[in-house]
Amino acid sequence: MSQRFHLFYIHGFNSSPQSTKARILQQALAGYDGVQFHVPALPYDPEQSIQILQQAVEACLPEPIGLVGSSMGGFYGTWLAQRYDLPLVLINPAIKPYELLQDYLGINENMYTGERYEFTERHIDLLRALDVAQITKPERYLLLTQTADEVLDYTQGVTKYAGSRQIVEEGGSHGFDGFEQHLPTLFEFFNITPSDQTSE
């Protein structure tokens, strides 16, 4: 019996498994019988998020695993990729969320779940502790980024993942416009193919 391939989508800060890209990816995997799709629901707390992701990943080992991380999910994904030697596709990744999220200190509300919570300096410190200062094995990463990201400075990702395969598109947005057009590239990167090779 062949092994399953486990594909994880790691959503961003203040997002949820109901995010647009997660749903697009799940629908696209309908024809991939050998792939099990995972979208863990991550809280605002970085420590809890990493624990949830670690447990989910370790539960799938030793079967092959791939990661897709959007925004903060790219930050968490980098930590996991380094720790477990896993391939990762980054979508407009947050490179220094401990700087970016200074603006979120205080009371916030998750736009998907309606949950209200307090983001504190402790959470900022936890993010600093999770930072991977310099990646190893650049071939392990595929960066998808758009220059008109209104939330993040795309050049930070281009610099951090220098040496990795990169797709840098002019324009776009933080949500990464046209994500579905890159699904063939994403699946090729993970070396996963449809169950029926003759299907479109």
In a domain, 197, yes or no: no
Q: What is the CATH number of the domain that holds 18?
A: 3.40.50.1820
In one-letter notation, the amino acid at residue 136 is: T
- The string of pLDDT tens digits covering residues 139-165 is 999 999 999 999 999 999 999 999 999
Secondary structure string (H, E, C) spanning 153-199: CHHHHHHHCCCCEEEEECCCCCCCCCHHHHHHHHHHHHCCCCCCCCC
pLDDT above 90 for 191: yes
Asked whether residue 89 is domain-assigned, the answer is yes
- pLDDT tens for 90-127 read 999 999 999 999 999 999 999 888 999 999 999 999 99
Looking at the domain assignment, is residue 62 inside a domain?
Answer: yes
pTM of the model: 0.95
Residue owning tokens 């979208």: 39
Which range of residues forms the domain containing residue 67?
A: 5-190
Assess if residue 199 is contained within a domain. no
Question: Is there a domain that residue 196 lies in?
Answer: no
139 within domain boundaries: yes
Domains in the chain, number: 1
